[in-house]
Amino acid sequence: MSKVFSLRGQALKLDTAADLHKHTQALEASSDVEEIHLEGNTIGVEASQALARILETKTTLQYANLADIFTGRLLAEIPQALDALLTALLKCPKLHTVNLNDNAFGLNTVEPLRPFLSRHTPLQHLFLNNNGLGPAAGTLVAEALEQLAGRKAEARKEGKSVPDLETVVCGRNRLETGSMAAWVKAYQANDKVKTVKMVQNGIRQEGVAQLLQHGLSSCVQLEVLDLQDNTFTVLAGQTLANVVERWTKLKELGVGDCLLSARGGRLLGDALAKGGNKNLEVLRLQYNEIDGKGLTALVTAASGSGLPRLRRVELDGNTFSEELPEVAQFEEILRKRKEDQADEYPGVDEDDDEAWGISVEDMEDEDESEEEADEAEDEEDEEQAKIVKDAEIAEDEPVAQTKDKEVDELADVLGKTELK
C-alpha cells in the first residue's frame, strides 16, 4: 500500500465533516501514511476539525502539504481551521516538513502558527511563501522560530533525538526592515539552517545588511541563499562581500534584482575570488547595475581557484555591454566546465540549458561613464555610513509596505503516488 495520501489540485470545497469523509476514507484507514498532499482545495472550519481528528492519530506522518487550502474562506474562518490542523500536527512525532504556502494569514490570522512553530521540535523544513504576513506577523513568526531552537536544545538535554531546522522559505511576505531584528535572532538560534529563501519581501538595504551581518553570517552550514528582489545598494553589497566567505558550503546564491550597484558587484566578485566559496555552483545577479569592472571581477573569480564549481551565472539586465570580451570569456569557462566536469554534479541535467552557462540577455545601455558612476557611489557611501551603524543596533521599525510581484516557489514534492 502506498504511504502517500493526496487530494492535490482537485479544487474541492470541503465545508462539513460529511464533505471531508467522502474523500478521506483511505486516509482514515491507513496506519502508516507518511505524506499528505491537500494543496489546491478549500477547507472550512468543520471540515478542518474533522480532518484534525484524523491527522492526530497518524504517528507515522512525515510531510504535510497544506498549501492553498483556504481560498475563498472568510477571515474569521481561517484561524479556527488552522488552529485545529496545527494542534493535531503537534501530535505527529515524525512530522519534519510543513508547507503552508499561498494561504492568506496576515496579522489577524497568524496567531495559530505561533504555538506550532515554537513547540514542534521535529520540524526541519518550513515553507511559508506568499502568506501576506507583513512586518508585524513576520516578527511573530521569527520569534516563534527562535523559541523553537530553545525547545530543541531542551529536548536534546533530555536525551531525545531532535533534528535541526534546515529549511526556511518565507518569501513574498512583505517582511520589510521592521522584522529583521527578530529574524536575526531566529537565525542566530537556528544556525544549522541550510536553505534560506526570503525573496521579494520589501527589505531595504539597512535591513538586508542587518540580516546578513548579524543573523545569516552565523549560519555556516548554509547551502542555498536566495534574497532576490529586495534592496541592497552598495551598503548591503559591502556587507554581503564581508560575510560570503563564511559560507564555505554555499551552492546557490541569489541576489538578482536587488540594486546591488556597480561597486557592490565588484566587491562581491573580489570576495568570491578569495576562495572561500569553492562549492558555489549558481549565481543569480540579474538587474543589479553591475558594470564592466564588476563583470571582470566575476570572471576572475570563475577563471581562478575562487569558484571551481561555478556552472550557471545569470547577469541579464546589467549595465555592461554583452559585446565585451569578458562575456565570451565567461561563456567559454562555463562551457568547458560543463564539457569536462558535468558528471561531477549529481542531479544536474547536462542537457538543461538553464542549469549551465551564462545568461546575459536584455542588457541595458550604460547611462554614465565609470568615472561618473564611481563619484556617485562615493557620495552614496557617505550618506550610508550612518545607516551601517544604525543597522547594527536596529530593532523593530515601521516601514511602508510594498507591492508583491511573481516569485518562484521552492519545489519540494516528496511523494509520487496516491494512497489507494
The pLDDT tens digits for 181-206 are: 999 999 999 999 999 999 999 999 99
CA dist 295 to 224, 242, 262, 336, 369, Å?
22, 19, 9, 19, 15
State how far the Cα of 200 lies from the Cα of 187, in Å rounded to an integer: 19
Of the candidates 63, 219, 92, 79, the residue with the CA atom closest to the CA atom of residue 145: 219
Distance of CA 162 to the CA centre of its chain: 22
14: left (phi over 0), alpha (psi -120 to 50) or beta: beta
314, 286 Cβ separation under 8 angstroms: yes
Q: Specify the pLDDT at position 2.
A: 75
What lies within 8 Å, CB to CB, of 247 at 6+ separation is 219, 220, 222, 225, 276, 277
For the entire predicted model, the pTM comes to: 0.87
Q: Specify the pLDDT at position 368.
A: 46
229, 258 Cβ separation under 8 angstroms: yes
Angle 276-182-103 (CA atoms, 0-180°, nearest 5)? 100
Pick the range with the lowest mean pLDDT from 106-120, 320-334, 355-369, 384-398: 384-398
pLDDT of 370 over the 90 cut: no
The residue ranking higher by pLDDT, 1 or 233, is 233
386, 206 Cβ separation under 8 angstroms: no
416, 35 Cβ separation under 8 angstroms: no
69, 38 Cβ separation under 8 angstroms: yes
The residue ranking higher by pLDDT, 305 or 394, is 305
The three cell numbers of residue 356 are: 549551465
State how far the Cα of 7 lies from the Cα of 419, in Å rounded to an integer: 10
Question: What is the total residue count of the chain?
Answer: 420
State how far the Cα of 125 lies from the Cα of 415, in Å rounded to an integer: 15
The beta-strand segments (E) located in 302-411 are: 312-314, 357-359
pLDDT band at 411 (very low <50, low <70, confident <90, very high): very low
pLDDT of 376 over the 90 cut: no
The pLDDT tens digits for 11-62 are: 999 999 999 999 999 999 999 999 999 999 999 999 999 999 999 999 999 9
What lies within 8 Å, CB to CB, of 286 at 6+ separation is 256, 257, 314, 315, 316, 317, 318, 359
213: left (phi over 0), alpha (psi -120 to 50) or beta: alpha
The three cell numbers of residue 45 are: 472550519
43, 70 Cβ separation under 8 angstroms: yes
Of the candidates 65, 67, 89, 85, the residue with the CA atom closest to the CA atom of residue 77: 85
State how far the Cα of 98 lies from the Cα of 37, in Å rounded to an integer: 10
The pLDDT tens digits for 82-114 are: 999 999 999 999 999 999 999 999 888 899 999
Q: Give me the CATH topology for the region 1-99.
A: 3.80.10
The pLDDT tens digits for 71-80 are: 999 989 999 9
CA dist 88 to 40, 52, 56, 203, Å?
20, 5, 5, 34
